[in-house]
Copies of this chain bind each other. A is one copy, B any other.
Amino acid sequence: MTRMDFTHVNAANQPTMVDVGQKAPTRRLARAHCRVVLGAELLGRVRAGELPSHKGPVMHTAILAGIMGAKKTADLIPLCHPLGLDDCQITIEPDGPDALRVVCTAVVTGRTGVEMEALTGASVAALTIYDMCKAFSHDITITGVQLIEKTGGKRDFLRSTNS
């Protein structure tokens, strides 16, 4: 077990990008999620502003922020490759009595995966929900930021529902 196993750290222990030029461009998808635990009262306030079929401004704002954040991934994560996105979808749904669940799906036709784009999109959407609710309370926690699915690269990944 040596330090050189880290793909982003070279033999001299310097941070390094990974050369992706030899890989063939493939269609790659990654999906990440997280939970924003607001408490029951605050979740109620958010939901009260959202008609059943017309998502209101908290969720809209968070969705847009998440999509725009996913597009900025290579600006935020130092060793990420810049890449175009074919698609980025974010959904936000109530998850239990006190939380919202954010799911971000990123898709690219490219030489490297979009896990970080999906994770960044979900995180920025969650932070935006926090920003819009923080006047009420700072008892808000973003939790469970995880990759849930990944296809199109060397190894597919699918998180079992119990993990």
Contacts and interface: CB of A to CB of B under 8 A. Distances in A.
Nearest to A48: B3
B45 A127 contact: no
Interface residues on A, range: 35 or more
Contacts of A57: 6, 8-9, 13-15, 55, 60
Contacts of A83: 82, 84
Given A76-B124, A109-B21, A89 B6 contact: no
Task: Determine chain A's interface SS by DSSP, over half rule.
Answer: mixed
A69 B76 contact: yes
B61 A1 contact: no
A97 interface: no
A60 to B, nearest CB: 5
Contacts of A146: 138, 140-142
A113 to B, nearest CB: 9
A68 B2 CA distance: 27
Nearest to A1: B45
Interface of A: 1-3, 5-9, 12-21, 27, 34, 44-45, 48-49, 51, 53-61, 63-65, 67-69, 71-72, 74-89, 91, 107-111, 115-116, 119-120, 123-124, 126-128, 130-136, 138-147, 150, 157, 159, 163
